[in-house]
Amino acid sequence: MRLPNKVTSYANSIIASFPEILELLMQRNMTPKELFELTASGKKDMGDFLNALDCLFALGKIELIEEGRMLRYVDSNKMQ
């Protein structure tokens, strides 16, 4: 997992992909494959993408809808 530090800049870390992933999921639910295809760039690989999803899930920002195998943005304002 590439987190920002002395060697890895923010732009090259997985945290830099959080806003793009969340913005796409705010628009509509997507499968992980669709989301990867929309966010894939030359410097990010599948491992970085999956690490970003793991972090967003652990932070409670996204969830997996089991029956459709879709990812969904979790709006914390709606949870309360």
Domains in the chain, please, with CATH?
10-79 (1.10.10.10)
Structure confidence by residue, pLDDT tens digits, 10-38: 998 999 999 999 999 999 999 999 999 99
To the nearest 10 degrees (0 to 180), the angle between helices 18-27 and 32-39 is: 130
**pTM for the structure as a whole:** 0.86
pLDDT at residue 45, rounded to an integer = 86
User: Which residue in this structure is represented by tokens 């796409």?
Assistant: 24
pLDDT at residue 78, rounded to an integer = 61
How many angstroms from the chain centroid is the CA of residue 14?
Answer: 9
Q: Which long-range contacts (CB under 8 A, 24 or more apart) does 19-24 make?
A: 21/52, 21/53, 21/56, 21/62, 22/56, 22/61, 22/62, 22/73
